[in-house]
Amino acid sequence: MDRLDNTIRPYAWGSATAIPALLGTEPTGEPQAEMWMGAHPGAPSRTGRGTLVEVIDADPQGELGAAAVAKFGPRLPFLLKILAAGGPLSLQVHPNLAQAKEGYDDEENRGIPVDAGHRNYKDANHKPELICALTEFDGLCGFREPSKAADLLAGLDVDSLKPYVDLLRAHPEEAALREVLTAVLSADREDMARTVTEAATACARLGGDYAPYADIAHHYPGDPGVIAAMLLNYVRLQPGEALFLGAGIPHAYLNGLGVEIMANSDNVLRCGLTPKHVDVPELLRIVRFEASDPGVLRPEAAADGEEVYDTPIDEFRLSRYVLAQTAPARDLTLPTPQILLCTAGSVRAGDIELAPGQSVFVPANEKAEVSGPGTVFRATVVV
């Protein structure tokens, strides 16, 4: 197995302290938002044999296993991250596989450069994802029932929001959510900025259920995404709890430290809370306009102490082991590729000692014994 040397991405919304605290390093004063573990070409993990992209390209069958290559092709199908949100991420959705392929082919045929600011589809893959909290973790996930969103907006007593309240109460669910989100994102920017400012003042005054939206507005003053965010469910995860984000589900992470895993894709359609491009027509084509419960996941006990976060996705499977000091070593050998990530204590993986925030790549069929005391997350695929 290979110890991984991983890149930390300094996105502006990142916490300046959470990842350094996990790693036991001094903060730099700059945001440290995400640590990437995997073979994404944008920031591949480094090993003693080269980057993980180079290692896999040299021997896909040997590194990934025959079954994984047959199902997903000669690449690692997932990207594992430690995510540290010090402020809200952009409000966003991800396409399903068919939508991603269609959108990517269309933009390729139109000659839009992959790195263009207005490009929506960086690749032809979908991007389902799972976030598992290491600390209390706040987020937005899926639409509220229209009547509940109407009540929340009505409580602000902002005149310019009353047409949205009426729409949410008068129409069937799908039409109500579609019409209001469309109206919010298509409104005159100056008018909407005044509405958001007035709504933010009311949120700060009212507190309670409105407090998260006051904080969002503090980070993104005047952004239409502040009102769009109020259409979504607010959820606070406790450590060990998780959220699965499937295609078309609007969501945003607000604050906290977590382990995130996703299909290896960059495809994001933004709804707001960002200075980046918002393609409203394409966004509306991708969003699933249906109210849904956030569906907080808790790990399910499996064999030999493994705790699994069950999702309907084959590109990734995330689980964890809480290893006692006196417990015998666990054999984690699989016919599929794995990344093992220590998040607490001290974990021994083969001959490699892992402190919190450190990780290893385990090729398919490679012997993988782990022992504690500590917590280790295991990322692999389903074949």
Q: Which residues are catalytic?
A: 270
For helices 173-186 and 162-170, angle between their N-to-C axes, nearest 10 degrees: 160
**58 vs 60: CA distance, rounded Å:** 6
Q: CB neighbours of 145 closer than 8 A, spacing ≥ 6?
A: 173, 291
Cβ proximity of 227 and 161 under 8 Å:
yes
Structure tokens at 238: 């406790």
- Spell out the SS3 assignment of 185-208: HHCCHHHHHHHHHHHHHHHHHHCH
Q: CB neighbours of 220 closer than 8 A, spacing ≥ 6?
A: 88, 226, 272, 273, 274
Where does 246-381 show beta strands of DSSP type E?
A: 251-263, 269-272, 300-301, 307-309, 317-323, 330-331, 338-345, 347-349, 352-354, 359-362, 369-371, 374-380
Using alpha carbons, select from 137, 173, 382, 125 the residue that is nearest to residue 251: 137
**100 vs 89: CA distance, rounded Å:** 22
3-class SS at 246? Answer: coil
**69 vs 364: CA distance, rounded Å:** 11
Cβ proximity of 13 and 89 under 8 Å:
yes
Using alpha carbons, select from 74, 79, 69 the residue that is nearest to residue 335: 69
3-class SS at 383? Answer: coil
CA of 267: how far to CAs of 62, 120, 139, 274, in Å? 29, 7, 20, 15
One-letter amino acid identity for 312? Answer: P
373 cis-preceded (ω within 30 degrees of 0) = yes
**332 vs 340: CA distance, rounded Å:** 10
By residue count, the chain amounts to 383
